[in-house]
Amino acid sequence: MNRQMVTRPGHWTSDLNLFWCIGLYASGSTWLFNAGKKIAASCGLGVGLASAFAGTEADLTFPPDTVTAIVKTHELDDAAAALLTEYSRAIWLSVRDPRDCITSLMLYQQCTFDESIEMTKDAAQFCLRIIDHPRTTLFRYEDNFFDAPATLDVLASTFDCRLNAGDKARIYDETRRSAVEALIKTFPDLPSVVGQPEPGHFVDLNTQWHTHHAGRDGEVGRWRRMLSGEQIAVVHRVLGAEMVRLGYDPQG
């Protein structure tokens, strides 16, 4: 593979292998990001592999020896969105019932109800920009894609690669919830872990796993018992159009 000097968007070329992982909050996008990185390495793309979480164009800067880049996002500025849409060879999009996204933000990230609605709406609008993109592969949380070994084959196909049985089994084991929980417990010893503004909140820059990813149960339909009738009505009023376009019934 021809290696190019890639440091910032203005220097990108068509030879950059760029993969974009985008999703609603709490929709499994961090799982996709990490599974994708492991698959890329198993498919011979480990040398020159870079990854990043991006919110702006300035975040789309990679080391000069980058050959393959995997970028994780939620909402973006317009410049970054345009670049990722143009250059991405594959787009992995994860979605979830926005009502459960909201309750997850409230429960695990201590966001207020209003903050959770705003964050979910912003992320949903960006996801909808590319949901029908020809290079987008859609992953729906309610399908438990993160627990299906076949998902690894789907991701591998976006690299034009086929996983052997051994690598597939290993990657599956390494992406189980128990493995993620074990990794988070080692955060104090990892040089790639940095603190966040919230007290006691840390993130591993290599994996984008956060301390708030620990202790989750993945419950589907939590919104039915966690949100009040008034809150549900607000969600449907504010996010009803986005819910329909994402494939979720506001009346369901």
CATH number at residue 177: 3.40.50.300
Quick one: which of 91, 92, 55, 61 has its CA closest to 74?
A: 55
Tell me the torsion sign for CA atoms 80, 83, 89, 91: positive
Q: Could you tell me if 101 and 75 are in contact, meaning their C-beta atoms sit under 8 angstroms apart? A: no
What is residue 219's DSSP assignment?
A: -
Q: Give long-range contacts, CB 8 A cutoff, 24+ apart: 47-50.
A: 48/3
d(CA 94, CA 113) in angstroms, rounded, equals 22
Q: Is residue 143 situated within a structural domain?
A: yes
Q: What pLDDT shows up at residue 1? A: 34
Q: Is residue 63 situated within a structural domain?
A: yes
Query: Residue 250, SS3?
Result: coil
Residue 141 token pair: 């949380």
Q: Could you tell me if 129 and 77 are in contact, meaning their C-beta atoms sit under 8 angstroms apart? A: no
The amino acid sitting at 97 is D
Q: What is the domain count for the chain? A: 1
Q: Is residue 207 situated within a structural domain?
A: yes
pTM of the predicted model as reported, rounded to 2 decimal places: 0.94
Q: Is residue 251 situated within a structural domain?
A: no
d(CA 61, CA 57) in angstroms, rounded, equals 8
The amino acid sitting at 2 is N
pLDDT per residue as tens, the chain (252 positions): 333 444 566 667 667 899 999 999 999 999 999 999 999 999 999 999 999 999 999 999 998 889 999 999 999 999 999 999 999 999 999 999 999 999 999 999 999 999 999 999 999 999 999 999 999 999 999 999 999 999 999 999 999 999 999 999 999 999 999 999 999 999 999 999 999 888 789 999 999 999 999 999 999 999 999 999 999 999 999 999 999 999 999 988
Quick one: which of 150, 32, 40, 36 has its CA closest to 94?
A: 32
Q: Is residue 3 situated within a structural domain?
A: no
Q: What pLDDT shows up at residue 216? A: 95
First and final CA of the chain: distance in angstroms? 49
Residue 146 token pair: 């993160």
Residue-range definition of the domain harbouring residue 154: 9-246
d(CA 104, CA 215) in angstroms, rounded, equals 12
